[in-house]
Amino acid sequence: MLESEAFILCYLKGEGIPLISSYGCSGKNYVLIMELLDKSLDDLFVENKNKFTLQTVCMLADQMVLY
């Protein structure tokens, strides 16, 4: 699965798609190293005092389902 994900991300090159540096196995773990594009959802959640507005949740859900 990891190899497929890396292949797809490399194929989709462009704005908003992180660049893949490397992928493979390290012992029993699978590793995918990619560019960090911005803050994580967890960082944004903490910045907003552990609350997201309904609008934010709907926008996130829309992006997760459609993309």
Residue-wise pLDDT tens digits, 33-66: 999 888 989 999 999 999 999 999 999 999 888 7
Domains identified in the chain, total number: 2
**pTM of model > 0.85:** no
Verify that 64 and 50 share a domain, yes or no: yes
8: domain range? 1-36
3-state helix/strand/coil string of the chain: CHHHHHHHHHHCCCCCCCCEEEEEEECCEEEEEECCCCCCHHHHHHHCCCCCCHHHHHHHHHHHHHC
Same domain, 41 and 31: no
CB 18 within 8 A of CB 9: yes
Say if residue 1 is in the same domain as residue 32: yes
